[in-house]
Amino acid sequence: MSRLRFFLSDVSAAAVLSLILLLTGALSPVWSRPPTQPEVIAAGRTKDATKSSRKPSGPSFDVVSKRSPESVADLRAIENRVKSLAKKVTRCTVAVRRGQAQGSGVIVSQDGYVLTAAHVCGSAGRKVDFTLFDGRIVKGVTLGLYRTVDAGLMKITEDGEWPFADMGDSTKLKLGEWCVATGHPGGYQQDRPPVLRLGRVVLNRSSFIQTDCPLVGGDSGGPLFDLQGKVIGINSRIGASANWNFHVPIKSYSDHWDRLAASEVWGGRESAQGAVLGVGGEDHQQGCKVTEVVPGYPAEKAGLRVGDVIVRLDDKPVKGIGDLAERIREMRPDAKVKLEIIRGVETIEKTVRLASRR
């Protein structure tokens, strides 16, 4: 049986971090205090620079490419890799303020283009303030929005050369791959640099990436990095569990860069929010076996139980947790769906009204 948790990867990043803290005591916190002035991390970026460069080699990358760490030495290698990235990834992470609303973003070009979520932008042509890693506030404007996947683009409008991160390739991500998310949970705080969280890739689909990097409100629009320090996604939606987090794939930005930069707005607002059923699961030979039912969400209200096997969704076969998750996410909140469930020796049908992501 192929096992894949909807909320957690096979090896919980939280558990790995706990082990690292216990064994080495060196990840508290993982960032270093920012200097007083920004620096340009790399040369100017053009649109073609979104292509991934040659992958670094060495013992550290051998370790982080493993499905799970096998020793204390592996844990320390992962820790060292994350620590080596911390300065770079936090320097290009910005806090975003639009009126009273707050979010996060990431600078991806020397001249100040900023990736964020569409719901952080709100609409095109709005004035925004960016707070940089060193506390400086600079002016900017919202540009294009691809609402269907929740992708948004902004631009710093002041002159300068800004610290930035290169855009990676989200199509090559593997399940279980290590990643780090940065942002400003709870909103910008003057005495705290951007916060970094380590996690794993749980699902990778064309319209979203799911990870177990713990996120909270204020992280929306912040970047998701691979362990080469390249942006692979943008924080979009936070689900019922602290480990149920969705990100816009970076491909959604690179594929539509010209439209976003031209301040086009397209796609549906509702579909950007997506829908939620409220279960954790794993692949089963007959569909998706429910391993968790989240309190207060549609699955619980409809009477689903741990151990149920969801075999059909709206009369179409369910081909595992990944298939179920992607199909539910593409539906609109408040849509009614019919589930066919095997419970013991019984086959049961349930009609469930989906909810929106919180």
- List pLDDT tens digits, range 177-191: 899 999 998 888 988
Cβ atoms of residues 90 and 194 within 8 Å? yes
Question: Is the pLDDT score of 3 beyond 50?
Answer: no
Let me know whether 225 and 313 are in one domain: no
Let me know whether 92 and 229 are in one domain: yes
Q: What is the CATH number of the domain that holds 93?
A: 2.40.10.120
Higher pLDDT, residue 91 or 19: 91
Task: Give the separation between CA 165 and CA 236, rounded to whole angstroms.
Answer: 19
Give all strands (DSSP E) within 226-345, no chain letters: 231-238, 245-249, 265-266, 275-276, 279-284, 287-293, 309-313, 316-317, 336-343
Q: Is residue 2 part of a domain?
A: no
Cβ atoms of residues 127 and 137 within 8 Å? no
How many CA atoms lie less than 13 Å away from 232 in the CB half-sphere?
29
Let me know whether 256 and 281 are in one domain: no
Of 266, 290, 309, which residue constitutes the final position of a domain?
266
β-bridge partners, 329: none
Let me know whether 250 and 286 are in one domain: no
Average pLDDT over residues 11-34: 31
- Encoded amino acid at 191, one letter: D
Q: Is residue 125 part of a domain?
A: yes
Q: Give me the sign of the Cα torsion angle 124, 125, 131, 132.
A: positive
pLDDT per residue over 191-217, tens digit each?
889 999 999 898 888 888 999 888 888
Residue 323: per-residue pLDDT: 81
pLDDT per residue over 282-295, tens digit each?
788 999 998 888 88
Let me know whether 262 and 278 are in one domain: no
Cβ atoms of residues 278 and 240 within 8 Å? yes
Let me know whether 228 and 324 are in one domain: no
Cβ atoms of residues 196 and 181 within 8 Å? yes
Q: Is residue 3 part of a domain?
A: no
Residue 44: per-residue pLDDT: 30
Residue 2: per-residue pLDDT: 34
Of 235, 250, 266, which residue constitutes the final position of a domain?
266
Long-range contacts for 47-51 (Cβ within 8 Å, ≥24 apart)?
47/254, 47/257, 49/166, 49/167, 50/166, 50/167, 50/250, 50/254, 50/257, 51/169
Of 266, 290, 314, which residue constitutes the final position of a domain?
266
pLDDT per residue over 78-112, tens digit each?
888 899 999 999 999 999 999 888 999 999 999 99
Task: Give the separation between CA 120 and CA 161, rounded to whole angstroms.
Answer: 24
Query: Hunting for tokens 């579909």 — which residue is that?
Result: 271
Number of domain units in the chain: 2
- Encoded amino acid at 170, one letter: S
Let me know whether 122 and 207 are in one domain: yes
Q: Which residues contact 199 (CB under 8 A, 6 or more apart)?
A: 9, 13, 178, 179, 180, 181, 211, 212, 213, 214, 243, 245
Residue 214: per-residue pLDDT: 86
Q: Which domain holds residue 77?
A: 9-266
Q: What is the CATH number of the domain that holds 300?
A: 2.30.42.10
Let me know whether 284 and 204 are in one domain: no
Task: Give the separation between CA 17 and CA 28, rounded to whole angstroms.
Answer: 10
Q: Is residue 95 part of a domain?
A: yes
- Encoded amino acid at 67, one letter: R
What backbone phi and psi angles, to 5 degrees, belong to 182? -125, 160
Q: Give me the sign of the Cα torsion angle 320, 325, 331, 334.
A: positive
Q: What is the pTM of this model?
A: 0.66
pLDDT per residue over 144-189, tens digit each?
999 889 999 999 999 999 999 999 999 989 888 899 999 998 888 9
Cβ atoms of residues 111 and 162 within 8 Å? yes
Query: Which residues are catalytic, by number?
Result: 119, 150, 220
Of the segments 24-38, 100-114, 197-211, 238-252, which one has the largest average pLDDT value?
100-114
Let me know whether 58 and 177 are in one domain: yes
What backbone phi and psi angles, to 5 degrees, belong to 143? -115, -120
Q: Is residue 1 part of a domain?
A: no
Q: Is residue 213 part of a domain?
A: yes
- Encoded amino acid at 177, one letter: E
Let me know whether 190 and 338 are in one domain: no
Task: Give the separation between CA 259 and CA 145, rounded to whole angstroms.
Answer: 9
Residue 65: per-residue pLDDT: 66
Question: Is the pLDDT score of 33 beyond 80?
Answer: no
Q: Is residue 4 part of a domain?
A: no
Let me know whether 78 and 173 are in one domain: yes
Higher pLDDT, residue 13 or 9: 13
Confidence of residue 118 (pLDDT cuts 50, 70, 90): very high
Q: Is residue 61 part of a domain?
A: yes
The alpha carbon of 280 is separated from its chain's Cα centroid by a whole number of angstroms, namely 18
Least confident span in 163-177, 214-228, 241-255, 267-281: 267-281
Question: Is the pLDDT score of 312 beyond 90?
Answer: yes
Least confident span in 18-22, 230-234, 315-319: 18-22
Average pLDDT over residues 111-127: 94
pLDDT per residue over 331-348, tens digit each?
888 889 999 999 999 999
Let me know whether 252 and 115 are in one domain: yes
Least confident span in 39-48, 97-106, 274-283, 321-330: 39-48
